[in-house]
Amino acid sequence: MDEPILRTTGLGKRFGAFAANSAIDFSVQPGELRAVIGPNGAGKTTFFNLLSGFTEATEGDIFFKGDRITRLAGPRRVARGIAKAFQTANVYPDETVLQNCRLAALAHTQGLFSLELFRRSTRLAPVDRIAEEALELTDLQAFADTRAGDLSHGDKKRLDIAIAIATKPQILLLDEPVAGMSIEEVHKTDRLIRGLTKRMTVLLIEHDMTMIMGISDSITVLHQGKILAEGTPAEIRANTTVQEAYLGGHTEGTL
């Protein structure tokens, strides 16, 4: 086996006395599509926040390609190649779809300080190329000149992924990318995510079990902040402990 692209040892996050994540020993191989599932409140988003540097761990360590990044700030992790799609909070609603991707590409290539300068500038070849590629991969080219705030819910969620892709990640963290989407939009996004795995490692949180079971190479189940089980989709589906965790208080995503 290759060296894991991402690995955690004893990773934990406490909010006061409450352990939202604890003792998480996790690793993912390059090119893998790994789903992270679990009942509401299991600690999935907290885990992604720790990996992306959005919040800081209170215990344990995170390694990216062998380097310890536990205390590295979020933007420095993006620069190393870890991107998280942040719902719609990352989108500038008054900028066009293309400009949103250009801003993300620029933040990657030149650093955040130059953003203001760039917003007034016109063209910048490498940044344009990266931004256009991000739109192609997410099938948003037709909306390049649309104001981001005017997109439909599904297209806005895909723009969020496009923005993450425009930072040229090696590993992409997607937190509920199809939440609230219509069936057609779910299928479109499912295809898009499958396409991305040829280029990068993908970690995916989702409650849509049909999608998860069809798309994942392997699945990590979180429950009460800890890893409850790991395995292939077939193994997880057959795991009685996992079934009990879901039946005990979660109604959305029966296995």
Angle at 233 between CA 232 and CA 236, to 5 degrees: 85
Closest approach of Mg ion to the CB of residue 208, in Å? 13
Closest C-alpha among 76, 39, 32 to residue 173: 32
**Number of residues near Mg ion (by CB under 5 A):** 1
- What minimum distance in Å lies between the beta carbon of 35 and ligand ATP? 13
Strand partners, 136: none
Least distance (Å) from ligand ATP to the CB of residue 73? 18
List the one residue from 9, 27, 45, 88 that touches Mg ion (CB under 5 A). Answer: 45
Give the residue with the Cβ less far from Mg ion, 45 or 70: 45
In the complex with Mg ion, which residue's Cβ is closer, 4 or 225? 225
| Residue ranges in 16-75 that form contacts with ligand ATP under rule CB under 6 A | 20, 38, 40-46
Q: How many residues in the shown chain lie near ligand ATP by CB under 6 A?
A: 10
Instruction: Write down the least CB distance from residue 12 to ligand ATP, Å.
Output: 12
> Least distance in Å: CB of 28 to ligand ATP?
18
For residue 225, the minimal CB distance to Mg ion (Å) is 12
- Strand order from edge to edge, sheet including 59-64: 18-28, 6-15, 59-64, 67-68
Nearer to ligand ATP, 20 or 69 (CB): 20
Q: x/- string (CB under 6 A) for ligand ATP, residues 185-224?
A: ----------------------------------------
Looking at beta carbons only, is 13 or 168 nearer to ligand ATP?
Answer: 13
According to DSSP, the residues that pair with 175 across neighbouring strands are: 205
Contacted entry of Mg ion, ligand ATP, none for residue 8, CB cut-off 5 to 8 Å set by kind: none
**By C-beta, is 40 or 121 nearer to Mg ion?**
40
User: What is the 3-class SS of the chain, one letter each residue?
Assistant: CCCCCEEEEEEEEEECCEEEEEEEEEEECCCCEEEEECCCCCCHHHHHHHHHCCCCCCEEEEEECCEECCCCCHHHHHHHCEEEECCCCCCCCCCEHHHHHHHHHHHHHHCHHHHHHHHHCCCCHHHHHHHHHHHHHCCCHHHCCCEHHHCCHHHHHHHHHHHHHCCCCCEEEEECCCCCCCHHHHHHHHHHHHHHCCCCEEEEECCCHHHHHHHCCEEEEEECCEEEEEECHHHHHHCHHHHHHHHCCCCCCCC
Residue 53 binds which entry of ligand ATP, Mg ion, none, CB below 5-8 Å type-dependent: none
At its nearest, how many Å lie between ligand ATP and the CB of residue 205? 7
Interacting residues toward ligand ATP by CB under 6 A: 15, 20, 38, 40-46
Interacting residues toward Mg ion by CB under 5 A: 45
